[in-house]
Structure 1
Amino acid sequence: MSGYASFREFYPFYLNEHSDLRCRRMHFAGSTLVLLVIAVALLTRNAWWLWLAPVAGYGFAWIGHFVFEKNRPATFTHPLYSLMGDWVMYWQILRGKVSI
């Protein structure tokens, strides 16, 4: 995989790596759980909950990749762009621009 000069250049690759709807659904579920974990941590004023955020987010996403996409998560080679891609895709799913 080659380097990317910008996130705009990376994002089409990112979407291609998430072509299986089941993988996208796993990402969406994991990202939703991350938001819920953060909400619980804020509402309870207990930062202990925050350790669950990466477990939920990456756990669901990586299952989607290894089980459904049969590819290696972009997190391993492009961690920042991949994290950005997760949230861009999440918001695009919510707005109906990416299907699940």
Structure 2
Amino acid sequence: MSYAEFWPRYLKAHAQPGTRLVHFLGTGLALACLLWAAIAQDWRPLIATPILGYGFAWSAHLMIEGNRPETFGHPFFSLFSDLRMLFLWTTGRLDGELVRLGLKAP
């Protein structure tokens, strides 16, 4: 599967706004831990990075979306897509991408 094929599938697996919000919280906290580790020059915050990132995301899939996380089948595509989805959301372009892919009504 190419990334071009994966991206719409990834967004479809994140159809519920609540799922995306919980993903953004987890990703934001994970990125904050990376930044903290770099600034403090301390490796310990790195332990929390995957726990927060994946913990929030997987719980959202279980409790909100009711599906299996894409991470299990495509870990690198999933990580890149999570960051891409966060970037599109923070720049106000996620809704346009969902509409473009037919995953949201215009």
Where do 1:2-21 residues align within 5 Å?
4=1, 6-21=2-17
| Cross-structure match for 2:64 | 68
TM-score by length of 1: 0.91
Query: Aligned partners of 1:85, 1:49: CA distance in 2, in Å?
Result: 23
TM superposition shift of 1:50: 0.3
Where do 1:2-81 residues align within 5 Å?
4=1, 6-81=2-77
Following superposition, which runs of at least 4 residues in structure 1 exceed 6 angstroms of deviation?
none
CA RMSD of aligned residues (A): 0.9
TM superposition shift of 1:72: 0.3
Name the SS of the counterpart of 1:47 in structure 2. Answer: coil
Q: Any gaps of 5 or more consecutive residues in structure 2? A: 96-106
Highest RCO, 1 vs 2 (Cα 8 Å, sep ≥ 6): 1
Name the SS of the counterpart of 2:58 in structure 1. Answer: helix
TM superposition shift of 1:95: 0.9
What is the aligned counterpart of 1:91 among 82, 87, 91? 87
TM superposition shift of 1:34: 1.0
Query: Aligned partners of 2:5, 2:91: CA distance in 1, in Å?
Result: 22
TM-score by length of 2: 0.86
